[in-house]
Amino acid sequence: MASTASTSVWWIRRDFRLADNPALRSALDDGAVLPLFVLDPALLSGARSARRAWLAVALRALDEDLRAGGGPGLSVLRGKPWNVVPRVASDARASRVHIAADFGPYGSRRDARVAEALAGEGRELTRTGSPYAVAPGTLTNKSGQPYRVFTPFHRSWLDHGVHDPAPAVRASSADWLAAEDRVDLPETDPDLVDLAGEKAARARWRRWLGRDSEGVSDYPKLHDVPGADATSHLSIALRWGHLHPRTVPQDLATKRSEGARALARQVAWRDFFADVLWANPTATTEPIHAEYATMAVEEPGDSATAARHLRAWQQGRTGFPFVDAGMRQLRAEGWMHNRVRMVVASFLIKDLHIGWWHGADWFMQHLRDGDIAQNQLNWQWVAGCGTDAAPYFRVFNPISQGEKFDPDGRYIRRYVTELAQAPDEHLHRPWETPDGVPAGYLEPIVDHAAERKEALERYQAIKS
Ligand SMILES: Cc1cc2nc3c(=O)[nH]c(=O)nc-3n(C[C@H](O)[C@H](O)[C@H](O)COP(=O)(O)OP(=O)(O)OC[C@H]3O[C@@H](n4cnc5c(N)ncnc54)[C@H](O)[C@@H]3O)c2cc1C
């Protein structure tokens, strides 16, 4: 391994980009930089093929961007970060390891452990910037407490504004190092290679921003219509840090349209949920409103019916076309439209009475944008047990949601191919087709009206 008088390690976790990267900028200020990614078994074990596949192409794209400057590329090592990072820093004779701050429960604990191990050898873990437009802990209410409700958080978020981007980094103008014991990059899925990485994310965002229709100007009108597929698809790029989230409000600032305001507001939701999790670290598994922990649920481990229902939901075979389309989109694309995420989550919790954490777990395994704060707190929002939650008694109707948001059935037909030829009038209620449910499709696994009543009774039981 090469070493210079002044070297540092840039430890990448979810900031796979060279532009607007304060931690990288700060590393370069130290001199030569060793870009490091650690394949951490604790994080890999919860990710199924969708997230692992994205990780592989994200690593490849960053490696190529680094090599474009003539350097040795990214060093990928396998192991527990508190063992690997100090060893690499020591081999490189780096005095500092630079990171973007992680505010999640596992990330904070891991970083504290790495910082301690480094400090034992006289080295420092330096946090610069974060994966958020406004970092958790920055905004507080008049009493100095974290916000629990989105609307005042959003007002404060708008007043605070975002920092200017960090100066751009050109790979060719830096001095890069590599670890001698780095491992090969994971195998990549050829279908994903062109989609991942900073350049692809930036190009996609620019294209969407520049569209005359079904882009930002149509966002307020079309963002809830999954068949139009008119949302930005930024979530994956933001999850992996191919783009810094502040790029979004910055690029939208000049637009001053209703669509621009609506989209920037969604990025504030992302910051809000990160802030809520930072203030309530047990919310990954525990309801924020403690009384919900006593709500009666069907446990798939104890009940054959609940296990069958959970499987049907996971496989997109509930007999409710809008729900099944969403669950099949998730498995096919590692992504699902937000409106449908809300409907399938409500169906699991309020029609099947299965605990939200089972759904959150499935989502985390299959979403390419799977993010512990966004996922768990959106699940808690739907379940009604989060800070700023939808009331529990608001139960999404899986049929009328489809009729309202997929009126022409474009979305359902795309994913539930058994219904591709179904007549419009029966698409959302195939069990009412005069000749019976179309071949290959199935009868609904539950009666929504009855299960809605049951859900409300369970809710009343914890409220009284
Ligand atoms: C049950 C459930 C689970 C979810 N799990 C995740 C997750 O693991 N990761 C994730 O990034 N999002 C999650 N979301 C939020 C939302 O569904 C996705 O961010 C959105 O669908 C991504 O598509 P988009 O980028 O086209 O969104 P757009 O509508 O174009 O919005 C732009 C950006 O705003 C942010 N945003 C939008 N809606 C939300 C929201 N409800 N909460 C927080 N941020 C939001 C995202 O970063 C998104 O990329 C979840 C929502 C639900 C209901």
Is pLDDT above 50 for 3? no
Confidence band (pLDDT; 50, 70, 90) for 216?
very high
Give the pairing of strands 7-12 and 32-39. Answer: parallel
Domains for the chain: give ranges and CATH numbers.
7-130 (3.40.50.620), 133-163+198-278 (1.25.40.80), 284-463 (1.10.579.10)
Question: 213: exposed, middle or buried (C-beta count within 10 Å: 0-12, 13-18, 19+)?
Answer: exposed
Instruction: Express each pLDDT in 293-336 by its tens digit.
Output: 999 999 999 999 999 999 999 999 999 999 999 999 999 999 99
Average pLDDT of span 76-80: 97
Paired strand residues for 9: 34, 97
- Give SS3 for 263: helix
Confidence band (pLDDT; 50, 70, 90) for 256?
confident
Rg (CA), the chain: 23
Element (H, E) at 322: helix 321-333
Ligand 1 in contact with 234 (CB < 6 A)? yes
How far apart are the C-alpha atoms of 95 and 113, rounded to whole Å?
Answer: 17
The mean-pLDDT minimum among 46-55, 140-149, 328-337, 383-392 falls in 46-55
Predicted pLDDT at 46: 59
Is pLDDT above 90 for 44? no
Instruction: Express each pLDDT in 217-247 by its tens digit.
Output: 999 999 999 999 899 999 999 999 999 999 9
Query: How does DSSP classify residue 227?
Result: G
Q: What are phi and psi of 27, to 5 degrees?
A: -65, -45
Confidence band (pLDDT; 50, 70, 90) for 47?
low
Query: What atom of ligand 1 comes closest to residue 341's alpha carbon?
Result: 53
Ligand 1 in contact with 235 (CB < 6 A)? yes
Q: Count Cβ atoms below 10 Å from residue 251 Cβ, excluding itself.
A: 17
**Which residue is closest in CA terms to ligand 1's atom 21?**
338
Predicted pLDDT at 214: 78
Predicted pLDDT at 4: 45
Predicted pLDDT at 1: 47
Ligand 1 in contact with 345 (CB < 6 A)? yes
Write down the mean pLDDT value for the chain: 94
How far apart are the C-alpha atoms of 351 and 15, rounded to whole Å?
Answer: 38
Instruction: Express each pLDDT in 267-294 by its tens digit.
Output: 999 999 999 999 999 999 999 999 999 9
- Give SS3 for 122: coil
Token duo for residue 240: 């992996």
Is pLDDT above 80 for 123? yes
**Which residue is closest in CA terms to ligand 1's atom 19?**
235
How far apart are the C-alpha atoms of 155 and 431, rounded to whole Å?
Answer: 47
- Give SS3 for 459: helix
Confidence band (pLDDT; 50, 70, 90) for 211?
confident
Confidence band (pLDDT; 50, 70, 90) for 5?
low
How far apart are the C-alpha atoms of 29 and 10, rounded to whole Å?
Answer: 11
Ligand 1 in contact with 379 (CB < 6 A)? yes
Torsion angle of the four alpha carbons 285, 297, 308, 316, in this order, in degrees rounded to the nearest 10: -60
How many residues are recorded in the chain?
464
Residue bearing tokens 């970060």: 81
Token duo for residue 30: 């130290």
Q: Which of 369, 375, 396 to mutate to test the pocket of ligand 1 (most atoms within 8 A of CB)?
A: 369
Residue 189 Cα to ligand 1 middle (Å): 24
**Which residue is closest in CA terms to ligand 1's atom 20?**
338
Average pLDDT of span 84-104: 97
Residue 59 Cα to ligand 1 middle (Å): 23
Predicted pLDDT at 2: 44
- Give SS3 for 124: strand
Q: Say if pTM beats, i.e. exceeds, 0.85.
A: yes
- Is residue 334 within 8 A of residue 51, CB to CB? The reply is yes
CA 356 vs CA 132, 240, 359, 362: distances in Å: 26, 25, 5, 10
Instruction: Express each pLDDT in 424-450 by its tens digit.
Output: 999 999 999 998 999 999 999 999 999
How far apart are the C-alpha atoms of 68 and 47, rounded to whole Å?
Answer: 30
Residue 390 Cα to ligand 1 middle (Å): 16
Is pLDDT above 90 for 188? yes
Token duo for residue 452: 């809605």
Ligand 1 in contact with 154 (CB < 6 A)? no
Element (H, E) at 94: strand 94-99
Predicted pLDDT at 49: 76
Residue 382 Cα to ligand 1 middle (Å): 13
